[in-house]
With several copies, the nearest count.
Chain A
């Protein structure tokens, strides 16, 4: 069986075949399959043998993602939903290239453009403050401001489009 996981905007293919009880053959992408055995699982903590090497992983699910901590690194995976089912908010904000959103919730402290302004790629369009840090939102493209959805002082949510652009 093949799964496609999305992590930080990249898609990863994983092929998995159940071997025997609590044992699998798993291959990443077109790589060689590895034998993975589950030794124990308890309260979100899982012990595996991966090709004989003991690996402890922690996993939890929330908000449609699975979060996994292994070897000190943590990852958030989403199962790829297929193109037919449309794109998520995050994909819109990042992928289409003409929407500018804050990657985190915060307060819109500065709005540097208005409707109709021409902007350069990399130009700072707005500043959002969260956790006492200012973060500049820059234009992903050269274009024209088509819409501004918020005013200075507004609270904005993560990935909520603040400015909509049209490419030039």
Chain B
């Protein structure tokens, strides 16, 4: 079994991975950039190693430095989390060469599924339905223009090495095509180090449904049912749930089998996700394989009772899957809401800053995977995810109500977050009915502002606190940076010395 894992990530997912390691009796090593010297994941790890300057390219994406660090501290495995190097085949290959276990699929598989264009070809050959579009990377603008003439507008610009919506642009007419491709290339280059993009037909109001799979190194593949991930802003998921309110039992079974077939076609091992688009006529298309643990993995854990991160570690260590398909069943319903440092009143603009106050909720059926603490600084360098709140309930409606109650007790002050927006989204009649599709937010939540009565209540509180505020010179909890700023009346105790 693995003895020591270097977690090549930060934030909530680094902490999630470390917790799984602790439960398996594996030692953990945190790495951190100079911007993360005070980050929460350092408090969880058994040891913490600095690996470079704040920009990710100099720290969390610095393959050479991370691999050398792992060797130096004696880590026999690296868990990449999601994002950063999670799906980077060069990183996986380097680990393979250095004799370090990469907790994920092989570099060869990563290369195949990471190249969306190549993956589309492989799946097409295996008889799996794919979205109409280019099966090669576009070079000059003519390539793209030509593709649109057969596809018709709207089309989607997608990064060949893409993921998480980075580099993605929807184009509704010829005029915007060139700029969209240039912007997509720049974002792709910055996010993945490769600017290859291609075009796909844009499917209107689809459902985004993905299947969780586990595959060991002995050819055993199981799926753990689906996740409905249609609620997105900027092509990025923000609310996910399972089971999908859209799938019938028959369709669920069929898609699950196709997902396993796709995984086998790719020679994939470890935990992975097969993403599908489901159109209005319940036709489904292979979208891509996500070769990592997903942000939204907790909803699968809560409904199936399987710890996906522990399974990742066991599979990476070379163990045979102890679970068979018939062992896996869904119990109840789970919904996740992602809390980002973003301003939902300004088109989800990132909102870095200091968290001046934090009170996280708890209670039956709630799980919080958090990467923040009171007083921590949210820097502008990385993905603005702060934490995830996941509610489990016997039914969708019970899970939904629990999640709303949880969010109403999730006080984060000092920066803008998605908390208030998420509450109103979860209370929207269309969400209540299970009418989720990828443009739900633009269609139903456009121009969102907090409700007037909340503003009124807040104004009353502000007035009361203002009217009663005497002079007091410093900020509590918020800006305390050294012990003596926080320990009051200490001198009473210290005066005897």
Contacts and interface: CB of A to CB of B under 8 A. Distances in A.
**Is A in direct contact with B (CB under 8 Å) within the complex?**
yes
A60 interface: yes
B465 A59 contact: yes
B458 interface: yes
B38 A39 contact: yes
Given A36-B460, A59-B461, A133-B350, A72 B419 contact: yes
Given A28-B456, A41-B486, A43-B375, A54 B42 contact: yes
Given A8-B345, A77-B462, A104-B380, A85 B454 contact: no
A26 to B, nearest CB: 4
For chain A, the bracket of interface size reads: 35 or more
B496 interface: yes
Interface in B290-328: none
Contacts of A85: 496
A143 interface: no
A50 B459 CA distance: 12
B346 interface: yes
B457 interface: yes
B186 A77 contact: no
A40 interface: yes
A76 B357 CA distance: 13
Size category, B interface: 35 or more
Interface of B: 37-38, 42-43, 45-48, 56, 166, 183, 186-187, 190-191, 234, 341, 345-346, 349-352, 354, 356-357, 359, 373-376, 380-384, 404, 407-408, 410-414, 416-417, 419-420, 423, 450-451, 453-467, 475-483, 486-490, 492-494, 496-497
A131 B38 contact: no
Interface string A37-79: 0111111111110101011111111101111111111111111
B310 to A, nearest CB: 23
Interface of A: 1, 3, 5, 7-8, 12, 14-16, 18, 22, 24, 26, 28, 31, 34, 36, 38-48, 50, 52, 54-62, 64-82, 85, 103-106, 109-110, 127, 129-135
Given A1-B497, A50-B460, 8 more contacts: A12-B459, A14-B459, A14-B460, A41-B480, A44-B486, A59-B487, A62-B414, A72-B410
B383 A62 contact: no
Contacts of B404: 72
27 contacts: A1-B467, A7-B455, A12-B459, A40-B38, A41-B481, A43-B373, A43-B374, A43-B480, A43-B486, A44-B476, A45-B374, A45-B411, A46-B461, A50-B457, A54-B43, A58-B357, A59-B461, A60-B478, A61-B475, A62-B475, A62-B489, A66-B466, A68-B458, A75-B455, A81-B496, A104-B380, A134-B186
Contacts of A44: 357, 359, 476-477, 486
A47 B43 contact: yes
B207 to A, nearest CB: 25
Nearest to B478: A62
